[in-house]
Structure formats: C-alpha cells, structure tokens
Amino acid sequence: MGSAGRAAGRDAAAVTGLECRIYRVPTDQPEADGTLAWSDTTVVTVEVQAAGEAGLGWTYAPAACRSIIEETLRPVVVGSDVFGAPGTNAEMVRRCRNFGRPGIVASAISAVDIALWDLKARLVGLALADLFGRCRAAVPVYGSGGFTTYDDETTAAQLEHWTGELGIPRVKLKVGESWGTNVERDLRRVALARKCIGDDAELYVDANGGYARKQAVRMGVVFSESARVSWFEEPVSSDDLVGLREVRDHVPCDVAAGEYGYDEAYFARMVSASAVDCLQIDVTRCGGYTSWLRVAGLASATGLQVSGHCAPNLHLPVAMAVPNLRHVEYFHDHERTDPLLFDGCQSVVSGELRGGTDVLGHGMTLKDVEALRVVRPVLRGLEPRAVDARFDELFFDQIGARPVALARRDSGRTKCPPKAERIGSRRRPELLAGQLVRNVSFGTKRKEKVYRAPAPLTEPCEDRRRAGHRRRPARSRRCARRRLHHVLKYDVDRPSQPD
Ligand SMILES: [Mg+2]
C-alpha cells in the first residue's frame, strides 16, 4: 500500500464490522495425550472490517466462544479505534469481568485481538512481522503430535515426516498415558522415538500433567538417561507450581509449561515460582498478540526463553519479534486444520517457518467461505453412501487437503486386513473420509484395530441380509445415522449477521 493507502488507513478511524464463524474438523484418527482424548478440532474465526479491509483472527476453542464474541465483545469492537488494539483488548477484558477471564472468554478475546492487529497492519500496508519489529528472519519449530493412541507404525511415520520431509531437528511425543498408569508403554514409545530420529535430533516429551510429583522425577531421570530427552513438558499439573519446581530441580531436562495461561498474572505466578525453564505462551489463549508480547517481555526480564504453543501460523509474526524465543510448536492437528481453512499458511522448510514479511498483516485469509458453505445444502437429501462420496469430493478435493495418515494407509500399508462382514459388528466404528474404519476403545483393556472397509458402513448390514442373516433394519438405520452425523461434523456453521 502506498502513501495514499496509508492516508486512507489513518482516516479509517473505526472498526465497522465483525463476523464470527465456527468450523469443526475431525482428526484424521482418534487422538489422545496422557489426560485427554479428542476426535475433532473446533476453530472459531473472527473477521473485523474497516475501510474495505478485513483483519482475521482465530482460536481453537469450543463453539461457545461465538456467544461471548457476538454478545459481549462485538459492542466493544465495532466503533473502536482501528489502531488501538491494546486499548480495545483492555476494554474487552473489563467487559468480561463477571464471566471469569480464563478459558473460553480469554480464547474469544484472543481471536478478536489477533484480528484487530491484522487489520491495523493491512491498513497501514505492513506485514505484522514488520509492524511488531523483526529480530530474526526465520522461526525454528519442533514437530508435535506423537499421540498415545498411535501405534508404532503411525508414530514412526510421523517422526519421519518431521525429521525427514520437513527437516525439523526436534520432535515431541505425548507420554503419561492414562494419567501415568502405563509407564511401561511410555518408556517403550520414547525408546522407539529415539531410535527413529537418530542421535542428532532433540527429543521432547509432554505428560500433560499426567504424572504425580515423585513419579515425574523418576520418569524424567529415566527419559533423560535412556533416550536423551531434553524437554519435559507439564510433568505434573501446570496448577502445581511447587511440583513443577520440584521436578525442575531434580531432572536434567528442561521443564516447560504455560499453555493454559489465559492472562498475564498466570505467567507472573509461574515465573515467580521458578517453575519452568521455558515459558510456553499460546497466542490463541493468552489474550492475542497484545498479551503474548507482554508475557514474552516478562520472561525476558527474568532470563527465560519462550515457546509459542501450537498455532504455528499465527505465532510467526510475534515469534519473529522477540529475542528470547526458543521455538514454536508445529502441532499435527493445526498442520492439518489451518491449510483447510486459510489461504497463506506458511510451510516448514529445513525445520524453520519462513515468510510472513512480503505480505499484509499475517498474510492469511479465510478460504472461499461460499465454497465451504455449499457442503451442507448439497448433502441434504442424499443417501448416506452418496453423502460420503459427495462430501469427499466437495470438501477434501475442493479444499485441497487429504489427511496424511489416511493417504499413507491408502497406499496399501493398512494394518489388519478386514473381513467385510465384521465391520458392522464393531462397537465404535469411526468412519474416516474414504473407506477406512478404525476402532479404538480406551480403558484398561486397550484394543486398537485399523482396517480397510471394502464398502461403506451401511454395506455390511445389507450383506448380512443377503447372506440370510436375520434382518436388522434398526441396526441399519443406526449405521446410517452415525455415518451422516460424522459427515455433518464437517459442516460450516451458519455465519453470524454482519453489522
Ligand atoms: Mg503440552
């Protein structure tokens, strides 16, 4: 943007509109860490408008965020100074006083704050990285995923993707399985990871608060000595600052935490307790770019490095702006989800995120929403089997994405060759796009089976009937409903009304 554009930007004194949308994208297969399991990622996007420009922000949080954004934050944002993101951020925090800031409220504020900064940068014709001021040309990342639900083959393939294809010299594995009750498998998976990545790459583990204090110390020592683990994330609950400090004092690897920091005071308490070696800050939770930069300053003043938690594309501008950055988390779910929804995402090359300097704002825009919006009407009225084929065509092909693990399994390395007639008898079949069924049961008796369904889910019921089995129309309908429900999880929610 030239000087005329910048002048127009200065004249555009007020935000004129705000739109919030929700997208829910299923994971490519069931995922879990030490203390939580999930099957989809919900993305809440915010667009703010002024002078013909739009700024984009988002958070990974429950759809309930939209109520906070539309009912409470919109009145603060619309009409506010387009160049006054910190002031608007403070007013949003004040308006939410009675709701409790941590959690959904802070996630909502974060999405709006990011959108406001993006809008400002676009109006003045700058990349956000330049607006914040750069101190590095590229941002180191670490590969993050390694879920406890993965079998060895999947874990090895993901590690190879990071270290081999993307050249990332540091990777992270989830441990603390089932709240620390399966340490034998933790140790075996960590040993497998070290074997897969070789001697040169750094190996991190994340227990997500799954261990008890003494247990975490014992595990940390073993991880370090047996597999040269150098980063132990949330060995105990992040709320247990004394416990984090105790572990930090007794293990050789660095202790990290901070991903549940929803306000600056949280990080101040963590720093005061000397609980961590590296402070993790999540720009989609802590209060957006405004708060992320303040917390990074707090860490710098106390001699700590910071790491961007998840959301690698959104972290890029601020990660380039602070000297005390260690790295940004390149999280598997967001590696999949972001390119599905946004144009302009950056790619990892030789273990680093580059770019973000020859763009306006953070450089990302919401993909053609109209293209996404056609999914639901087209699917209505179709038979479940037709829905699946049509959905794949509309969503994955049109949006240009295909789950990595699915593609890999499609290449013929599928485990457990199936018996078609057994598919309908599975208790929890979860249909992935395409024709794969994976059944995972959590609990003390773990069963994991992945196999290729030679036909859609409703087929086995029909097969049984043809084969003379007792007719079970109710079962067939249940299959169809479950299948349809899964497909509709991809649906794009109806957008809010713009101002
Ligand atoms: Mg973590």
CATH number at residue 158: 3.20.20.120
In this prediction, residue 12 has a pLDDT band, given cuts at 50, 70 and 90, of low
Same domain, 159 and 276: yes
Cβ atoms 169, 163 nearer than 8 A? yes
The candidate with the shortest Cα–Cα distance to 448, out of 153, 211, 196, is 153
Would you state the torsion angle of the CA atoms of residues 244, 201, 450, 439, taken in this order, to the nearest 10 degrees?
10
Cα 362 to chain center, whole Å?
18
Cβ neighbours of residue 261 closer than 8 Å, sequence gap 6 or more: 267, 270, 280, 281, 282, 285, 286, 295
Give pLDDT, residue 65.
Answer: 93
Structure-token match 């954004």, residue found: 69
What is the band of 356 on the pLDDT scale with cuts at 50, 70, 90?
confident
Q: What is the pLDDT of residue 395?
A: 52
3-state SS, residue 77: helix
Question: How many CB atoms are located within 10 Å of the residue 396 CB?
Answer: 17
90 and 202, same structural domain? no
Work out whether the CA dihedral 217, 222, 224, 229 comes out positive or negative: negative
Q: How far is the CA of 498 from the centre of ligand 1 (A)?
A: 36
Tell how far the Cα of 205 is from the centroid of ligand 1, in angstroms: 9
In a domain, 499, yes or no: no
List, in sequence order, the alpha helices (H) in 210-307.
213-227, 241-250, 264-272, 288-301
Q: Give tens-digit pLDDT for 201-226.
A: 999 999 999 999 999 999 999 999 99
Residues 282 and 222 in one domain: yes
Tell me the CA–centroid distance for residue 390 and ligand 1, in Å: 36
Query: What is the CA(411)–ligand 1 centre distance, in A?
Result: 31
Q: Do 284 and 391 lie in a common domain?
A: no
pLDDT category at 362 given cuts 50, 70, 90 is very high
Q: What is the pLDDT of residue 276?
A: 98
> Same domain, yes or no, for 159 and 265?
yes
Residues 362, 373, single domain; the answer is: no
In this prediction, residue 485 has a pLDDT band, given cuts at 50, 70 and 90, of very low
pTM (predicted TM-score) = 0.76
CA of 284 to the centre of ligand 1 (A): 14
- 208 C-alpha vs ligand 1 centroid, how far in Å? 6
Are 256 and 293 within one domain?
yes
Q: Is residue 10 part of a domain?
A: yes
CA distances, 189 to each of 84, 155, 305, 406 (Å): 48, 8, 28, 22
pLDDT of residue 25: 82
pLDDT in tens, 304-344: 999 999 999 999 999 999 999 999 999 999 998 898 889 99
- Whole-number Å distance, alpha carbon 37 to ligand 1 midpoint, is 13
Indicate if 258 and 157 belong to the same structural domain: yes
CB count, 10 Å around CB of 5?
15
- 80, 98, 125 - which closes a domain: 125
**Weakest mean pLDDT among 163-177, 316-330, 484-498:** 484-498
Q: Is residue 496 part of a domain?
A: no
More confident residue, 474 or 222: 222
Mean pLDDT score across all residues of the chain = 80
Give ion ligand 1 contacts, CB < 5 A: 206, 233
Predicted confidence at residue 10, as pLDDT, reads 53
Pairing of strands 37-50, 17-32: antiparallel
- What is the average per-residue pLDDT within 169-186? 97
Res 309: pLDDT: 98
Instruction: Give the rounded percent of residues in the chain with a pLDDT score beyond 90.
Output: 66
State both tokens at 204. 């991190």
- Name the pLDDT band for 39 (thresholds 50, 70, 90): confident
Domain CATH code at residue 30 = 3.30.390.10
Last residue of a domain, one of 97, 125, 153: 125
Concatenating the DSSP letter of every residue in 302-362 gives TT-EEEE-S-HHHHHHHHTT-TTEEEEEEEHHHHHHHHHHEET---EETTEE---SSSSBT
Q: Is residue 494 part of a domain?
A: no
What is the count of structural domains for the chain? 3
pLDDT for residue 177 is more than 90: yes
- For ligand 1, the distance from its centroid to the CA atom of residue 50, given in whole angstroms, is 36
Indicate whether 423 pLDDT > 60. Answer: no
- Which of the pair, 125 or 431, is modelled with greater confidence? 125
**Residue 442 counted as domain residue:** yes
Cβ atoms of 348 and 168 closer than 8 Å: yes
Residue range 433-442: mean pLDDT, rounded: 33
Indicate if the pLDDT at residue 367 is higher than 50: yes
Q: State the pLDDT confidence band at 491, using cuts at 50, 70 and 90.
A: very low
What is the C-alpha to C-alpha distance for residues 171 and 35, in angstroms, rounded to an integer? 20
Helix axes 459-466, 473-488, angle to 10 degrees: 160
Same domain, 152 and 242: yes
Render pLDDT for 42-90 as a digit per residue (tens, 0 to 9). 999 999 999 999 999 999 999 899 999 999 999 999 999 999 999 999 9
C-beta separation of 432 from 395 below 8 A: no
What is residue 11's predicted lDDT score, i.e. its pLDDT? 54
Q: What is the pLDDT of residue 26?
A: 82
Identify the top-confidence range among 400-404, 420-424, 472-476, 486-490.
472-476
Tokens of residue 94, six digits: 């004040």
Say whether both 247 and 231 belong to one domain: yes
Q: Which two tokens stand for residue 14?
A: 């007020």
The answer on pLDDT for 461 being more than 90 is no
For residue 495, being part of any structural domain is answered with no
Q: Residue 247's domain spans which residues?
A: 129-366
Do 313 and 331 have their domain in common? yes
Is residue 498 domain-resident?
Answer: no
| Domain annotation covers residue 82 | yes
Distance 291 CA to ligand 1 centre (A): 19
Is 125 a residue whose pLDDT tops 80?
Answer: yes
**53 Cα: distance to centroid of ligand 1 (angstroms):** 35
Report which DSSP code applies to 228: -
How many C-beta atoms lie closer than 10 Å to residue 62's C-beta? 14
Residue 207 alpha carbon to ligand 1 centre in Å: 7
In this structure, are 393 and 349 located in the same domain?
no
Of 366, 382, 412, the position where a domain reaches its end is 366
